[in-house]
Amino acid sequence: MAIENRNIALLVDAENISPKYIEIIVDEANKYGKINYRRVYGDWTTDQLSAWKGKINEFGLTPVQQNVYTAGKNVSDFTMIIDAMDILYSGKVDAFGLVTSDSDFTKLVTRLREDDMFVFGMGESKTPISLVNSCEAFAYLNKMLAKEEGVKKEEKPPAKGKRKKPANNKAESSITPPETIEKELKHIIENNQEDDGWAYWSIVADLLQKKFPGFHPRNYGKNVRPITYFKNHKAFEVKIENKVAYIRNKKK
């Protein structure tokens, strides 16, 4: 993805997001332009955010304090929403990066986009699909971190006499199944193909991103460009002519 030229307000919900993701968060935001605001929200008087405190100076973050008035409520929500609207009305940015897995921010995303703001999100796989699809692009931090740390390495065999615990496959996830992506991509190609069946990849990719903002091959264990992912897929064909990429449904 080419580096873009937007002025960005990056707002991080520290009570909802682990500080282990901060380097990935900043790198991802930098792809969309220049980060004008780097604000991280939470109650900094508690021990809960102690791990975040060591990242503040390292990454040039501005901690925003919000005191807890109601037990059990994520207080970052209110302050982030108010700050986002203040920044919007200042006219200093044209993009927002919201880092949270909390569906309470879905309405905020919708409101920002009504004012023609580009809004991209970041969160974990547990992020509700309502928030993911409200953004124009969404990155799953746990998937990105897993690729960086090489989590896909072979697991060590269990010690003799010990049985390996079965994997828990019931964890909730908003990541769209690959079969759904494939089905929708076929429809997009059919609706945008030329007489020979080939469709411009730039058009297809844009429509697919709008349909599934959280889509990226790394979600399915392939850390490659989307066009490479589909080029290696049995259902599609990809070609490049004069530096222009095309894709079509493979004929049966």
Q: Residue 223 maps to which CATH number?
A: 3.30.420.610
Write down the pTM of the prediction: 0.76
**186/143 same-domain check:** no
pLDDT of residue 78: 81
| Residue at which a domain ends, from 149, 167, 200 | 149
Output the CA torsion sign for 44, 30, 174, 167.
Answer: negative
Alpha helices in the chain (DSSP H): 22-30, 50-56, 76-90, 106-114, 129-134, 141-149, 178-192, 201-211, 226-231
- Asked if residue 159 is part of any domain, the answer here is no
**143/184 same-domain check:** no
**34/84 same-domain check:** yes
The total of other beta-carbon atoms located within 10 Å of residue 220's CB is: 15
| Average pLDDT, integer, range 221-247 | 92
- Asked if residue 243 is part of any domain, the answer here is yes
- Asked if residue 173 is part of any domain, the answer here is no
Residue for token pair 């290696």: 232
| Residue at which a domain ends, from 129, 149, 169 | 149
Task: Report how far residue 217's alpha carbon sits from residue 109's, in angstroms, rounded to the nearest whole number.
Answer: 24
Q: Residue 15 maps to which CATH number?
A: 3.40.50.1010
pLDDT of residue 174: 81
Task: Report how far residue 151's alpha carbon sits from residue 154's, in angstroms, rounded to the nearest whole number.
Answer: 8
Task: Report how far residue 72's alpha carbon sits from residue 52's, in angstroms, rounded to the nearest whole number.
Answer: 20
Tens of pLDDT, residue by residue over 199-212, are 999 999 989 988 88
- Asked if residue 115 is part of any domain, the answer here is yes
**Number of domains the chain contains:** 2
- Asked if residue 156 is part of any domain, the answer here is no
Task: Report how far residue 227's alpha carbon sits from residue 94's, in angstroms, rounded to the nearest whole number.
Answer: 28
Structure tokens at 87: 């920044």
Range of the domain at 212: 178-249
Tens of pLDDT, residue by residue over 68-80, are 655 555 555 788 9
Q: How many helices (H) does the chain have, and how many strands (E)?
A: 9, 9
